[in-house]
Amino acid sequence: MKSINPRLDKILKPQALNVKEANYYIEGIIEAQDFLVLAEAITLLESEHSDHRQIANQILIACEQLNSYSKRIGITGSPGVGKSTFIESVTPFLILADYKAAILTIDPSSIDNRGSILGDKTRMYQLTQNNRVFVRPSPSRKFLGGTHAMTYEAVVMCEAAGIETIIIETVGVGQSEHTVGDIVDCTILLLLPGSGDELQGIKKGITQIADIIVINKSDGDRLNLARKVAQDYKVATHITEKNKQVWSIPVCLHSSTDPEFDIQVTNHLSDFFSYYNSENLRLEHRNAIKVKVIKSRIEYHLEEVLKKKISANRHITEILKSSNSYPFATIENLMKNINLDLSCR
């Protein structure tokens, strides 16, 4: 490898974060609306270092004080459905009015070392060259539901930076990938031609959080099949629609080779947000999101504290080491002996 690039060792060597005072990030995000500072702040969010977390919390408290009228859009679907290509194709039509957009992509992490390739940025070359678009890949780090543990916090920072359209691309893991629906205003579900019939569409839990369904890669020999799948899902959505009030979930075709499809998708998005705002659902939905975030973050931080306390408790460590074949007896023993002070010191 050194023969390819003699500086490879230096490039791959982990670099220590050059962490600054919280005011540097707050001013850079809120006043300067600097994407580079925004990226640095999100890095602090994703850090597991306690000092970094404290600075990130100060930044968040300042950012959440601002009123934001952004549009939050979630893009979900199975691996290989073409989420990144779809986003690169549609986004230019969403920022025609001199708006700014943020693309937050979630990459699957290794089970062993929690590392991620973070390759989504390479699939969005045109968007990364646009100075009005902020593209940020993040590792999932075993967080279930298709997003990162701090995706909501990253959204708050993006809104404080004056970004009007925020798109979240989920990991892409299947039917249980629903956490994005607890963050965004509108969820777009991407499907492939031949991905299942009407009954399969009813079975898939992910369709129940979709506000717009898109049959992607609808071109060439797959076009007729795509039309058939779209018709099946139109029937399925009439059965599974709930909590949408008067919104009827549109099912449309898309191909990145035809801009007309991009226009159709953006028209559906425009219709959704017109309905969303006219029915006064925005405030109600955003408040519900905040309640869910408070509950989930309390659980998250309690779990983090609990893990640290358990790892530092010698008695519990010995019990865990001695458990060979009887996990349930071990759990019973732990529950009887566990007595932890959850205060942070």
Residues 6+ apart with CB under 8 A from 54: none
Distance, in Å, from the CA atom of 330 to the CA atom of 174, rounded to the nearest integer, reads 33
Give me the sign of the Cα torsion angle 250, 253, 256, 258: negative
Of 193, 230, 199, the closest CA to residue 81 belongs to 193
Contact 133, 95 (CB under 8 A): yes
DSSP letter assigned to residue 65: T
Q: Which residues pair with 72 in a beta bridge?
A: 166
pLDDT below 70 — which residues of the chain? 1-16, 108-123, 140-148, 172-178, 195-207, 239-245, 323-325, 337-345
Both tokens assigned to 338: 């566990």
Angle between helix 35-46 and helix 50-63 axes, rounded to 10 deg: 130
CATH of 66-279, one of 2.40.30.110, 3.40.50.2020, 3.40.1390.10, 3.40.50.300: 3.40.50.300
How many CA within 13 A on the CB side of residue 298?
Answer: 6
| Dihedral over alpha carbons 174, 104, 183, 46 (to 10 degrees) | 100
Contact 230, 261 (CB under 8 A): no
DSSP letter assigned to residue 245: T
Give me the sign of the Cα torsion angle 201, 82, 214, 148: positive
What are 98-123's pLDDT values in tens digits? 789 999 998 764 444 444 445 556 66
What are 249-262's pLDDT values in tens digits? 999 999 999 999 99
Record the pTM. Answer: 0.83
Q: In degrees rounded to 5, what are phi and psi of residue 77?
A: 155, 170
Residues 6+ apart with CB under 8 A from 19: 44, 51, 52, 55
Distance, in Å, from the CA atom of 275 to the CA atom of 279, rounded to the nearest integer, reads 6
At position 291, the amino acid (one-letter code) is V
Distance, in Å, from the CA atom of 181 to the CA atom of 73, rounded to the nearest integer, reads 9
